[in-house]
Amino acid sequence: MQRSLHSPKSSHTMERLPGVLLFFLAIFFSTTQAYEPLINHHIHLLRPQSGAGGSSVPGLSCLSWRLAVEVGNIINWKTVPAQCGSYVGHYMLGHQYRKDSKLITDVAWLYAKSLNLKKDGKNVWVFDIDETTLSNLPYFARQGFGTKAFNITAFNEWVLEGRAPALPESLQLYKKLLKLGVKVVFITGREEDQRSVTITNLRNVGYRTWEKLVLKGSAYSGKTSYEFKSAERAKLEKSGFRIIGNMGDQWSDILGASAGNRTFKLPDPLYYVS
């Protein structure tokens, strides 16, 4: 609960503040006001008046919108709010995206190496591909960083170029897991006709080996990513594998049946997949 600075209790407290503290408070507030024009132009304080879907969301900042997206409080959104295109672009191309990704992969590694794993070849780590192990930023940079409606034809053309770079932090985690004796399984929403180019792309950027590469076949036509990935993880467990870790950029990558011992969500404010 907020209190007015003019409430009796607040006034009494202020009277007891040492003179030196009051002096520094005065300097702080005067300095803040002096630099307020500069602060208001900082990318992290952009305040759009439009949320997901274009509906009015008074006072919403782009940073707050991204946070709500990452924790799953805003769902089923189609595009990044137009006013947040610059913010998302700065985030994805700047240091913070890399720092966020590193924190998550570091935590995942600390967890993995703490396990007392059986040496029977049955321990697997499930990775998504797009925005998890491979990055499509070169494509989305041309698409306004998610502010344009998703075009499946244009995206598939990009995939077929096979030029998606690795996410460096995920690649490092992948290599550490292999050294630990953990097998890797990729489960991706990419379709079967993209298998060859996906294999080539993965290997070209450093993902040299894996236990399985599962793509979305025709049997899952009309099914959500959540349903598809849950079913494929269940198949892994039924065949005797233990999913010790499960990592993706979408909640639909990591929730559902047979999610594994622990799940790790990487940041992705570019698009939403159910």
> Same structural domain for residues 150 and 229?
yes
How far is residue 211's CA from residue 62's CA, in Å, rounded to a whole number? 40
The pLDDT of residue 58 is: 57
> Same structural domain for residues 100 and 37?
no
pLDDT in tens, the chain (274 residues): 444 333 334 344 434 444 443 333 343 334 334 433 333 333 333 333 333 344 445 566 999 999 999 999 999 999 999 989 999 999 999 999 999 999 999 999 999 999 999 999 999 999 999 999 999 999 999 999 999 999 999 999 999 999 999 999 999 999 999 999 999 999 999 999 999 999 999 999 999 999 999 999 999 999 999 999 999 999 999 999 999 999 999 999 999 999 999 999 999 999 999 9
φ/ψ of 237, rounded to 5, equals: -65, -40
DSSP 124: E
Q: Are 162 and 204 in contact (CB under 8 A)?
A: yes
In a domain, 83, yes or no: no
CATH number of residue 171's parent domain: 3.40.50.1000
The pLDDT of residue 176 is: 98
> Same structural domain for residues 125 and 227?
yes
Q: Read off the amino acid at residue 172.
A: Q
> Same structural domain for residues 18 and 114?
no
Q: What is the pTM of this model?
A: 0.79
> Same structural domain for residues 154 and 240?
yes
In a domain, 224, yes or no: yes
The pLDDT of residue 59 is: 64
How far is residue 10's CA from residue 13's CA, in Å, rounded to a whole number? 5
In a domain, 71, yes or no: no
For residue 90, the SS3 value is: helix
In a domain, 183, yes or no: yes
In a domain, 196, yes or no: yes
> Same structural domain for residues 34 and 132?
no
For residue 34, the SS3 value is: helix
Joined together, the tokens standing for residue 236 give 């892994």
Number of domains, the chain: 2
> Same structural domain for residues 104 and 239?
yes
DSSP 24: H
> Same structural domain for residues 24 and 144?
no
> Same structural domain for residues 114 and 247?
yes
The pLDDT of residue 17 is: 40
The pLDDT of residue 36 is: 36
In a domain, 152, yes or no: yes
Q: Tell which residue, 75, 61, 183, has the closest CA to residue 121.
A: 183
> Same structural domain for residues 14 and 98?
no
In a domain, 46, yes or no: no
> Same structural domain for residues 230 and 105?
yes
> Same structural domain for residues 115 and 244?
yes
Joined together, the tokens standing for residue 90 give 């700065």
The pLDDT of residue 19 is: 46
The pLDDT of residue 34 is: 40
For residue 219, the SS3 value is: helix
The pLDDT of residue 60 is: 66
Q: Are 174 and 126 in contact (CB under 8 A)?
A: no
| Boundaries of domain holding 21 | 8-41
In a domain, 209, yes or no: yes
Give 261's Cβ-side CA count (13 Å radius).
14
